[in-house]
Amino acid sequence: MQAFELSLIVSLISVTSFAQDPVPIKTTLILKAPQERVYIGDTVTLECNVEDTVNTWIFRWFINNQQFRGHTDQNTQIIQFVNSSYNGVYTCDAYRRDTRAHSLSSNAVLLVVQERSTTLKVISGRRGGEIYVGDEVQLLCLLDGDPLGWRYELQKTGDENSNKTQRAQSFTIKPVSLSHSGEYKCRASKGELHTDFSDPIQLHLKDFSLQNYLRLGAAGLVLIVLAIIMSKCFWNRVLPAGDSSGYAYTSGQRGSESYLNL
């Protein structure tokens, strides 16, 4: 009888221990960003998913093993206007207030926030990229990452009055003149954020009148050559084909010549 009671007590302890130590719940952390790389000023979302059908979980958020957000029943955290201070390794876990059950810590997610940069590019409608006075030219300010919501500034070195700021990335100059020659650079801004200026590019313009002179000179040379050819053809037609002396005689001259030979 005592052995049966002892066996029953051991079974009850085992069942109680099993009830108090359920299978650990797993969590998965997902980083959502507008593109593969994350840049300063972007908005990122951290999503902590619990592999359980119960919706009464409370979530905790960690960066480099330090809790950075308060306990919340929302499984997402939205971080706006990220900067380099958000760089680190993120994890999350969850627990239930009713049972005090805790999930396992999630997988680690690395967040690296990069600085944005701009690149200025010249677009010309001519082959070879040549630009002549009177042409239309576009200066395109390219920005790393998502360009939505950014403003763009174009600056000409040494000319503060030439600065232009707009929402469009492309700056159009039409028509260009020799005064537009010079060095240009651009940058982008969004609220209090702004990039460094791009590497400068040099805008070289050619005077369109010089091109006209070259064309007129070439056309004049062609006309001179044609005139020489036509003149030669004309004299070849006038001179008798069979006269070996190269002279043309009148009828009187031919009569005189016959008389002298008699």
Q: Which of 191, 206, 221 is the last residue of a domain?
A: 206
Query: Which of 89, 92, 90 has the alpha carbon at shortest distance from 25?
Result: 92
Q: Cβ distance 204 to 181 under 8 Å?
A: yes
Give residue 69's identity as a one-letter amino acid code.
R
**Statement to judge: residues 97 and 139 lie in one domain:** no
| Residue showing tokens 């064309």 | 215
Domain enclosing residue 25, as ranges: 21-114
The pLDDT of residue 251: 45
From 185, 206, 227, the end of a domain falls on: 206
Total number of domains in the chain: 2
Inside any domain, residue 235: no
Which of 67, 99, 114 is the last residue before a domain boundary?
114
pLDDT value, residue 205 = 86
User: Is there a single domain that holds both residue 64 and residue 135?
Assistant: no
- Tell me if 85 is assigned to some domain: yes
Partners of 97 in beta bridges = none
Q: What is the reported pLDDT for 238? A: 64
**Block mean pLDDT (10 aa), the chain, length 262:** 45 44 83 91 94 86 91 91 94 89 94 95 83 91 90 91 90 91 94 92 78 60 77 67 48 42 37
Residue 70: predicted pLDDT:
80
Ramachandran sector of residue 119 (left: φ over 0; alpha: ψ -120 to 50; beta: rest):
beta
Angle at Cα 69 formed by Cα 65 and Cα 75, nearest 5°? Answer: 100
Dihedral angle computed from the Cα positions of residues 96, 97, 101 and 106, in that order, rounded to the nearest 10 degrees = 40
The answer as to whether 220 is a domain residue is no
**Same structural domain, 134 and 49:** no
pTM: 0.62
Question: Does one domain contain both 108 and 162?
Answer: no
Q: What is the CATH number of the domain that holds 68?
A: 2.60.40.10
Is residue 185 located within the same domain as residue 152?
A: yes
- Residue 261, token pair as written in the block: 């030979």
Question: Is 70 within the bounds of a domain?
Answer: yes
Q: Are 193 and 130 contained in the same domain?
A: yes
Please tell me the distance from the alpha carbon of residue 91 to that of residue 217, in angstroms, as a whole number: 76
Say yes or no: 90 and 159 in one domain. no
Find out whether 40 and 82 touch, Cβ atoms under 8 Å: yes
